[in-house]
Structure 1
Amino acid sequence: MLTGLSAFPLTPMDEQGIHEHEFIQLVARLADAKVDSIGVLGSTGSYAYLSEEERARVVRLSVESAAGVPVIVGIGALRTRDVLANAERAQLAGASGVLLAPVSYQTLTDEEVFSLYETVCRSLSVPLCVYDNPGTTHFNFSDELHGRIAELPQVRSIKIPPVQNDLAAAKARVAGLRALIPSDVTIGISGDAAAATGLLAGCDAWYSVIGGLYPDIALALTRAAQAGDTEQAMACSQALEPLWALYRDYGGSLRVAATIAELTGKVSQPCLPQPLNTLQGDDRHKVAAVVEALGLS
């Protein structure tokens, strides 16, 4: 399950609530494309902005709409008690796995992070993916800490930050982590622009933002890399360079993906929780030009 393409859809919403029909359509599209798993309530799913009830509703809708495709659910929260409650609700709703980042207002220590994962693993009956996202959590995992956490029961994957866009360096990075973790724990790449390099360097999975909107495009890249077709995988990524440039220009993928979803009619406007906004004005025109140039619909 924690291999191949894990596609992360948006959670479209306004201040009145989740746009459930739109969300169901996004998930159903991923199921129809036969992605390897569907990741909900990650950063792309705006989990940190949702109430407990909204999060529980998203999980239920996901599992009901996934047509048997495994659903991985983000359970991160500021307090361990809330993480445990999120994990319990996800499991009861039929989630196949959970995703956990060490979210905190205060910077956490290594021992606090280890304790978080240790406590959560004791309550789980499904696999856990460690979400290493220093840009959001401001916590930097060492490979040694990853190694300790990966020994815990239920830990089955590590979602790492983007690797260098150099295949030799990326292989060294992945090999260094691989040497410290059990063989049954997968390594997944995040950061769409680094996906091809990460997969070719030995990552087992791609935890993908663009896969949540365009699963066929993401699957083509993933399958090429899995087949060892370096030329085709890199060509797939290079063709999307205008999109990766937007990510760089606008500080990440969420606003870009949400803007594309609005422009192409996949969701209504607004689709992000306030105070977040999709791109407007000249920035929106720039995204629209890339959508047209790449033939995205």
Structure 2
Amino acid sequence: MFTGLSAFPLTPVKQDGIDEVAFIRLVERLVIAGVDSIGVLGSTGNYAYLSRAERARAAQLAVDHAGTVPVIIGISALRTRDILTLAEDAQAAGAHGVLLAPMSYQALSEDEVYGLYETVSAHLSVPLCVYDNPGTTHFTFTDDLHGRIAALPKVASIKIPGVPETPVAAKERVKRLKAVIPPHVTVGVSGDAMAATGLNAGCDAWYSVIGGLFPATALAITRAAQAGEGIQAQRLSDQLRPLWELFSKHGGSLRVVASAAELLRLVDAPCLPLPLKALEDEDRRMLATVLDELTPS
């Protein structure tokens, strides 16, 4: 489950809650495409903006419409108490695994982060993926901490934020991390612009934002890397450079992906929880041009 392409769809919202019809549509597209797993309620899934009831509903909808595709459900929250409750909801919905980032308002120490994963892993009946996302959590894992956490029960994967740009440095990064974690724990790359480099460097999975919207495109990159066709994987990734540049310009992928989903008429506009807004005016026209130039699945 924690290998290959894990596609993370948007959770589109309306004023009164989740847009269930649109969310189901996005999940079912991933099933048809043949992704290896579906990750819901990650950053692209707007988890931080949703109530417990909305998160539980999204989890249930994803499991109900994913068919035989494993579903990984995000359970991140500020308090350990709430995380344990969300874990119960995810497991009750039928999650095959859960994803946990060390969210914080007050900066967390290494001991606090280790204690979080120690507590949560002890209460789980499904595998856990460690969500290393310093861009939103403002916490930076050390390899030593990853090693300690990876030795806990139920920990099955680490979602790293990216790898160095050069292939040699990327391989060294992945090698160093794998040297301190148990062999059964996989390493998955996020940061879509670095995905091909990460897969070619030895990452076992790609936790993919664009996979949630363009699964065929992301699968082509993943399967090329898995087949040892690293040059082809990188070439396919390079074709998406205009998209990577938009991600960088707008501080991440969420607003761009939400705008793309609106432009492709997969969701109704607006689809982001306020105060977040999709791209507007010239930025939106620029994205439309990029989408026309690419070959979306």
Fold shared by both chains (TM-score > 0.5) = yes
1:52 aligns with 2:49: no
- Alignment of 1:118 with 2:118, yes or no, is yes
Partner of 2:160: 160
Alignment of 1:1-297 (within 5 A): 1-296=1-296
Shift of 1:251: 1.0
Find the residue that maps to 1:73 and give its secondary structure: strand
| Letter matched to residue 165 of structure 2 | N
| Structure 2: distance between partners of 1:133 and 1:86 | 19
Shift of 1:83: 0.2
3-state secondary structure, aligned to 1:259: helix
Superposed displacement of residue 191, structure 1: 0.5
- Structure 1: how far apart are the matches of 2:65 and 2:296? 24
Alpha-carbon shift at residue 281 of structure 1 (Å): 0.6
Name the aligned partner's letter for residue 177 of structure 1. Answer: L
Deviating beyond 2 angstroms after TM superposition, the runs of 4 or more aligned structure 1 residues are none
Distance 2:248 2:164 in 1: 14
Structure 2 residue ranges without an equivalent (≥5): none
- Comparing 11-20 with 126-135, greater Cα deviation is found at 11-20
- Cα deviation for residue 295 of structure 1 reads 3.3
**Helix, strand or coil at the partner of 1:158:** strand
Q: Any idea what SS the aligned residue of 2:56 has? A: helix
Deviates more, 1:243-252 or 1:166-175: 243-252
Q: Please give the root-mean-square deviation of Cα atoms over the aligned residues, in Å.
A: 0.7
Matched residues in 1 for 2:92 and 2:264: separation?
34
Q: Aligned-pair distance for 1:165?
A: 1.4
Superposed CA offset, 1:153-200 (max 9, x none)? 000000001111110000000000000000000000000000000000
Separation in 2, partners of 1:2, 1:296: 25
Amino acid at match of 1:80: T
Distance 1:165 1:259 in 2: 27
- Which whole-Å CA distance do the structure 1 matches of 2:55 and 2:161 have between them? 25
Unpaired segments ≥5 residues, structure 1 = none
2:217–2:296 CA contact under 8 A, matched in 1: no
**CA–CA distance in structure 2, aligned partners of residues 25 and 190 of structure 1:** 23
Q: Is the 8 A contact 2:162 2:194 kept in 1?
A: yes
Could you tell me how far apart the structure 2 residues matched to 1:93 and 1:248 are?
35
Q: CA deviation at 1:248?
A: 1.1
Between the two proteins, the alignment pairs up a number of residues equal to 297
TM-score, structure 1 length as denominator?
0.99
Q: Percent identity of the aligned residues?
A: 64
